[in-house]
Amino acid sequence: MSAHIYKKIEVVGSSQTSIEEAVNNAVEKAGESVRNMRWLEIVETRCHIEEQKIAYWQVTVKIGFTLD
């Protein structure tokens, strides 16, 4: 069995609804150009505020994928 070798990218997803949706948006968009995604780690979570209310969530994730 060969060792798995991974590369990581960092992307920021956003959502007006939830943290989970922000993560899903990041993964979905990355999947348009990155193959073999295997895992992610959440690095940072923040919110954009407008008129004293949360306007949208931003979540930074590192996505690991195997190299061909």
Q: What is the pLDDT of residues 9-20, one digit of tens each?
A: 999 999 999 999
pLDDT tens digits, residue range 44-65? 999 999 999 999 999 999 999 9
Give the residues across from 1 on adjacent strands.
none
The CATH number that domain 6-66 falls under is 3.30.1660.10
First to last CA, the chain: 15
Checking if the pLDDT of 1 tops 80, the result is no
What predicted TM-score, i.e. pTM, was given to this entire model? Answer: 0.88
- Angstrom CA distances, 16 to 7, 13, 48, 54, 60, stand at 29, 11, 9, 8, 15
